[in-house]
Chains A and B, each alone.
Chain A
Amino acid sequence: MSTATVEQRLQKIWETPKGLWGWFATVDHKEIGVRYLVTAFTFLVIGGVEALIMRLQLARADQALLTPSMYDQLFTMHGVTMILWYASPILSGFANYLIPLMIGSRDMAFPRLNAFSYWSFLLSGVLLYIAPCLGQAPHGGWFAYVPLTNIAYSPGYGMDIYALSIIYLTISTTAGAINFIVTILRLRAPGMTISRMPLFLYSTLTVSTVIVFAMPSLTVACVFLLLDRHWGTHFFHVAGGGYPLLWQALFWFWGHPWVYVIFLPATGMISMIIPVFSRRPIVGYPYVAISTVLTGVVGFSVFVHHMFAVGMSDMAMSFFSAGSMTISIFTAVQVFAWIATVWTGRPVMTTAMHFAMGSVALLVIGGLNGIFTAVIPVDWQVHDTYFVVAHLHYVLIGSNVFPVFAAFYYWIPKITGRLMDEKLGKWSFWVMFIGFNLGFFPMHLAGFAGMPRRVYTYPAGLGLQPLNMLATIGAFILGLGMLMSVVNLIESLRHGRVAGKNPWNADSLEWETDSPPAPYGTVHIPTVASRHPLWDDHEEEYDPDNLRTLDYDRVTLASTWRDAEPYAISKMPMETLAPLLLAIALFIFFTAMVFELLWIALAGVILTFAAGCFWLWPRPRPARLEVSA
């Protein structure tokens, strides 16, 4: 039997059927990954437009473009959208698309769960954006502190939609995280031992574990908020013996680890991109891997630094202050490893490399001004000022948006098969980099000058006008730079150079597949013999007798978690509508809860159970898998 027939058989086994049913029923990680990327990027655009409207309002003193209430809704929606519906899902998109290819697997461990994660992410975002359509967007800031968000001060549907859409999203995120953990620990190609995993896998594994441990705390907080608002409980009411601080503790126990969820996979991407364009393996691989894991662990012991101003015991404050400073050590290890890699390598300054190095620069600034806020006296001084706004945007844009753009320039050729234009890309980088610094650096100074965050305007004569004008101009330049990259992407779909399998001469397994990859990934299950499979002198797919093609059913190879010894065959599910139906059933439940339509909510619960049974019920394999050898 020739290779052509093997490929044809694999194609027949793995391809998603054409048409509407196939589109809704697909479980292909590549389809789902692209959808994640597109949806999350749409949320980035929506959140970005919200930010630009706010910047217009703040450009000059005493403007009345927005009412105070509209301004409150905008900054809340901006924060919630960016942090929950853009920053983490976009990384899930990359992880979905790339991880099975990177580990030489044919799909994720739970493809249907993967589809469910996507649909519920999308529908929870739809639920969130019902609020502004009703004209009642949440307005309590993205961390929604009580008592402001209690029913007495926040009537209307806004905060209910906030809480319920977040609970819905936590289900999606947790399901995705469990999927990533099992995929990374069980489906790696033979030979890809735990000490040979690409660093992106380390960071995704770490943040997925963090999500599993941290997410429930947010769920509990949101449930308590809903109960307090509508069912007369007293979790946060001081009058009933409750504790407003309880909200903050529960929220930040999730909230700070979440910062690392947003940040670590992006550093993992940088750790993949910088070595490739420095033409050498990364410096200090084990130290980078260990500090990634330790960042996730120690990330749980810093959350109280968001609450230094609430009045706590000195002991508690010293502990969490020390924790916050400790964590900078692990980030520093990674930063020094990247610098040393570039320093000792022969850097090729592609656009992706520009974005990666730009993000390192921003991350250093964001990290250093983070240490300011870890020092309690300084924190008290700058608490709730624009200094904090500057800090968090340096960290989040520096460690998420810039690496994501680096990843777009680096991996889009794999996804679309076309290279993006380097010249326009570099222009886009410099416009974004200058715009970002112009926009956000003045906020440090505005914060020191005493400008509070979340205030819709400021009086003239305080000297804040020039700084704010600069920030607004910078924000628009940043937006322009992003637009240039979008144009570049659309242009590349038609006119880009054909990428070929491995345009960057990169080292990891995803570059072994075609661009765009076939639905099954590689024909032969690859074998890994080093940390840089495509750089060593060994053929991953060397298999003259076609013993490693798995072309008899929709299956992939399971291996042990540490040594990646193959030990079993994992059967993979076929296309099904069950994930979509389950997500819709939950959407009905959560939407009905917003409007307190309890009977419809009950129907949603029953539908959820029915969809779950439909999902799990054993079915015979379809006939199209019966391909004669």
Chain B
Amino acid sequence: MNTVANSYVENVHKPLPTVLDQDRGTFAMLLVIFTELFLFISLFFSYFMLENNKHRWSFNNPPKLGYALVMVVVLVTSSFVLHWGEKQVEKESRLAGRIALAATIVIGLVFLTLQSFEYLSHWKTLAPYSDSYGSIFYAITTFHAAHVIVGLLLLSYVLALPRYAPARESPYRPYHVAAMYWHFVDIIWLFVVGILYIGANYHL
């Protein structure tokens, strides 16, 4: 049988740590983001596979870049605002954190409004039931919009969190976890624009 390393027996006599574990949720959120990433990879894979049938797509009018690029600016701005807010909460200035959070939510709603305008202008030439291009185009953008909505719900929850939460549990943690998700949703939009809009316009 195995002999024992003495250092581990000594370890027994060391008192246990008292600091609270703060980043279990961060780890779980990271895994959620991985699985969501693979959701979008599956969607993009479907797009590329369906692109093999491009000759049957109504490709003579690819999606207009206008709205999409404005939406990129909007969403990227929101990420910066949220990140700034996170820094403020870390520095214990909670009010600034809350203002940044509220601003992010407003910008997120602006994004969704722009998305609906984009859909309205697009719908005349392309609908989900027109062909497989319409199907996958609206599937990817709607999946993304659904993630934006989930992100907004998470952020609103953090905004509504009471201040009377025990002092030992930093308000920074839920803020950070929700922000991770928001940044992820933001980055996915860059890929959506890159593949569905820019790629289609420049025949990449």
Contact = CB atoms under 8 A, between A and B. Distances in A.
A126 interface: no
A566 interface: yes
Interface stretch (B85-93, B104-112, B159-167): B159-167
A567 B42 contact: no
A212 B2 contact: no
A537 B2 CA distance: 7
Contacts of A497: none
B5 interface: yes
B46 A216 contact: no
Contact of A182 (B31, B136, B153, B174): B31
A558 B21 contact: yes
A566 B19 CA distance: 11
B16 A566 contact: yes
B39 interface: yes
Contacts of A224: 46, 139
A558 B27 CA distance: 13
Given A110-B28, A529-B8, A547-B13, A233 B139 contact: yes
Given A220-B42, A233-B139, A235-B50, A542 B132 contact: no
A220 B39 CA distance: 7
Contacts of A110: 24, 28
A461 interface: no
Interface stretch (A99-107, A237-245, A362-370, A575-583): A237-245
Contact of B19 (A182, A219, A235, A568): A568
Nearest to A556: B21
A253 B2 contact: no
B20 interface: yes
A90 B183 CA distance: 36
Interface stretch (B51-59, B65-73, B74-82): B51-59
A525 B8 contact: no
B16 A550 contact: yes
Interface in A98-143: 109-110, 113
A448 interface: no
A216 B31 CA distance: 13
Contacts of B2: 529-532, 535-536
B1 to A, nearest CB: 5
A606 B17 CA distance: 41
B11 A527 contact: yes
A241 B42 contact: no
A179 B169 CA distance: 21
A242 B53 contact: yes
A571 B21 contact: yes
Given A190-B11, A250-B42, A609-B153, A240 B132 contact: yes
Q: Interface size bucket, B side? A: 35 or more
A570 B12 CA distance: 19
Nearest to A208: B31
Nearest to A253: B42
Interface in A527-552: 527-532, 535-538, 542-543, 545, 547-548, 550
A393 B17 CA distance: 50
Interface in A188-208: 190-191
B148 to A, nearest CB: 15
Most chain B CB within a 10 A radius of its CB, from A178, A241, A245 = A241
B204 to A, nearest CB: 20
B12 A186 contact: no
A568 B50 contact: no
A249 interface: yes
Contacts of A566: 16-17
Given A241-B131, A613-B157, A174 B35 contact: yes
B184 to A, nearest CB: 14
Interface residues of A, number: 71
B161 A618 contact: yes
A527 B34 contact: no
Interface string B1-38: 11111001101111111111110100110011011101
Interface in B87-136: 128-136
Contacts of B14: 547
Given A178-B31, A527-B8, A241 B53 contact: yes
A532 B3 CA distance: 11
B200 interface: no
A232 interface: yes
A11 interface: no
A235 B46 contact: yes
Contacts of B190: none
Contacts of B133: 241
A246 interface: yes
A153 to B, nearest CB: 19
Contacts of B198: none
Interface in B142-167: 153, 157, 161-162, 165-166
B49 A535 contact: no
B34 A241 contact: no
B185 to A, nearest CB: 15
A536 B162 CA distance: 50
A214 interface: yes
B16 to A, nearest CB: 6
A216 B36 CA distance: 7
A80 to B, nearest CB: 21
A181 interface: yes
Contacts of A536: 1-4
A182 B20 contact: no
Contacts of A287: none
A569 interface: yes
B49 to A, nearest CB: 5
A242 B4 contact: no
Interface of A: 109-110, 113, 174, 177-179, 181-182, 185-186, 190-191, 212-217, 219-221, 223-224, 227, 231-235, 237, 240-243, 245-246, 249-250, 253, 525, 527-532, 535-538, 542-543, 545, 547-548, 550, 557-558, 566-571, 609, 612-613, 616, 618, 620
Interface of B: 1-5, 8-9, 11-22, 24, 27-28, 31-32, 34-36, 38-39, 41-43, 45-46, 49-50, 52-53, 56-57, 128-136, 139, 153, 157, 161-162, 165-166, 169, 174
Top 5 A-B residue pairs of the complex, sorted by shortest distance between their CB atoms:
A216-B39, A232-B129, A233-B135, A568-B21, A241-B132
23 contacts: A179-B28, A185-B27, A186-B21, A191-B11, A213-B35, A216-B41, A219-B42, A220-B46, A224-B46, A224-B139, A235-B139, A237-B132, A241-B50, A253-B42, A527-B8, A529-B5, A530-B2, A536-B4, A547-B14, A550-B16, A571-B20, A571-B21, A618-B162
Given A527-B12, A618-B162, 6 more contacts: A178-B32, A186-B24, A537-B1, A538-B8, A558-B21, A570-B24
